[in-house]
Amino acid sequence: MLEMAGVGRTFADGTAALTDLDLRVRRGEFVSVVGPSGCGKSTLLRLLSGLDAPTAGAVATAPGRLGYVFQDPTLLPWRTAARNVELVAELEGLPRGERRRRAERALALVGLEGFAHARPAALSGGMRMRVSLARTLVLEPETLLLDEPFGALDELGRERLNGELAELVARGGLTVLFVTHSVAEAVSLSDRVAVMSPRPGRIIGEVDVPLPRPRPPRLRFEPAFGRLAAEVSALLADPARAERESTA
């Protein structure tokens, strides 16, 4: 479970990134946060992961393993794919044999069995992101924070990785907070979509997505999907009206 209540984050130079932000993610829920670029989406994840502290309000994360997938793969170029995946297990002090075994399994989960000994420079952008995902999975997290993880990929690669992510989540019963600026991506993956205002960011509305799972790619051409996407887009397009409606 993740919870943020009245959270604000103002940086040392006076810029307010977030203000009065409320957000709750229940156990086993998949929630996406969409918002215009620069609205503080990444700051939100940094606060939840403990990399940053709020200047107002309270942030609570349930005890348990937290996985964080950054916007960039952030791989260490001198390590092979397998050794990159092992890195966080090393940092958490797992014994060598256990690390090896887990890294192998995590790479298999993201479909990179044959690339354990490849260095990042030899991998494509999508493959690097898969390694990054495997690195997060190696500690068997209960909660996943994802920061526009596939934003740098082309649409096909992105769709495929999103599908695989949905599968992983469904299998593992993970709690997920997914940050993106793509409405379609948010709707197709989530149980609920939270919409953020431009900076200083706050949650200005939430849209439940009661579509059945598993959700095949063609789902996005169906009317129900379209209506939900339109609802999210409307909130994004007119934050002022969204706020009036939420207070009314």
Q: Output 29 or 70, the one with its CB closest to other proteins.
A: 70
Q: 201, exposed or middle or buried, with CB in 10 Å at 0-12, 13-18, 19+?
A: buried
Work out how close the CB of 74 gets to other proteins at its nearest, in angstroms, rounded to a whole number.
Answer: 4
Contact present, 236 and 204 (Cβ < 8 Å): no
User: Which of these segments, 44-52, 97-105, 186-194, 224-232, binds other proteins (CB under 8 A)?
Assistant: 44-52
Work out how close the CB of 35 gets to other proteins at its nearest, in angstroms, rounded to a whole number.
Answer: 21
Work out how close the CB of 213 gets to other proteins at its nearest, in angstroms, rounded to a whole number.
Answer: 30
Give me the DSSP letters along 137-201. Answer: HTT--SEEEEESTTTTS-HHHHHHHHHHHHHHHHHHT-EEEEEES-HHHHHHH-SEEEEEPSSSB
- In this chain, which of 121, 156, 240, 248 binds other proteins, going by CB under 8 A? 121
The kind and range of the H/E element at 3 are strand 2-10
- Is 22 strand, coil or helix? strand
Q: Output 17 or 229, the one with its CB closest to other proteins.
A: 17
| Site for other proteins contains 11 (CB under 8 A) | no
- In this chain, which of 20, 72, 104, 206 binds other proteins, going by CB under 8 A? 72
Contact present, 141 and 66 (Cβ < 8 Å): yes
Q: Cα–Cα distance between 196 and 17 in angstroms, integer?
A: 12
| Site for other proteins contains 50 (CB under 8 A) | yes
| Site for other proteins contains 51 (CB under 8 A) | yes
- Measured between its terminal Cα atoms, the distance across the chain in Å is 28
Work out how close the CB of 87 gets to other proteins at its nearest, in angstroms, rounded to a whole number.
Answer: 7
- In this chain, which of 24, 100, 105, 119 binds other proteins, going by CB under 8 A? 119
Contact residues toward other proteins (CB under 8 A) are 46, 49-51, 68, 70-72, 74, 76-78, 87-88, 90-92, 119-122
